[in-house]
């Protein structure tokens, strides 16, 4: 399958700081990427759709000013958690659809811990 990478894999930060997470499609171009968060032993919750060259589309209940998304190129989307708080601690995973438009491959995830 297609390869999607994320960086960093793990980050620990202090409350109030901002954290940037990168998602890259390594062997294909992705005009659209998706960002999910996953709490322990829970399902994947879609946060937003990242669109190359335009604004991201956020799911209901997701604060767009807190979770800033930038899709700078056809292979890179970034999620910035601004003014992070302990309740933002979670596993953040991105995914990208391939040329078939519906088959999605996931990145390895980023475990964020806010102290």
Partner 1 sequence: GENVEQHPSTLSVQEGDSAVIKCTYSDSASNYFPWYKQELGKRPQLIIDIRSNVGEKKDQRIAVTLNKTAKHFSLHITETQPEDSAVYFCAASTSGGYNKLIFGAGTRLAVHP
Contacts of 6 (CB under 8 A, 6+ apart): 21, 22, 23, 24, 93, 94, 107, 108, 109, 110
Within its chain, how far is the Cα of 86 from the centroid? 18
Compare residues 40 and 86 and give the one whose CB is closer to partner 1: 40
Compare residues 43 and 87 and give the one whose CB is closer to partner 1: 43
Compare residues 62 and 82 and give the one whose CB is closer to partner 1: 62
Q: Please state the closest distance from residue 25 (CB atom) to partner 1, in A.
A: 13
Q: Please state the closest distance from residue 19 (CB atom) to partner 1, in A.
A: 19
Q: Please state the closest distance from residue 102 (CB atom) to partner 1, in A.
A: 4
Cβ proximity of 32 and 96 under 8 Å: yes
Residues within the interface to partner 1 (CB under 8 A): 1, 31-32, 34, 42-46, 49, 93, 95, 97, 101-109, 111
Dist CA 12 CA 99 (whole Å): 35
């Amino acid at each position: 399958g297609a390869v999607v990478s994320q960086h960093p894999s793990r980050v620990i930060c202090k409350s109030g700081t901002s954290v940037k997470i990168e998602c890259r499609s390594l062997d294909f171009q992705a005009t659209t990427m998706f960002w999910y968060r996953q709490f322990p032993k829970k399902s994947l919750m879609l946060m937003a759709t990242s669109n190359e060259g335009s604004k991201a589309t956020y799911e209901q209940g997701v604060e767009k000013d807190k979770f800033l998304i930038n899709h700078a190129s056809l292979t890179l989307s970034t999620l910035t958690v601004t003014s992070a708080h302990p309740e933002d601690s979670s596993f953040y995973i991105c995914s990208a659809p391939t040329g078939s438009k519906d088959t999605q491959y996931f990145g390895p995830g980023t475990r964020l811990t806010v102290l």
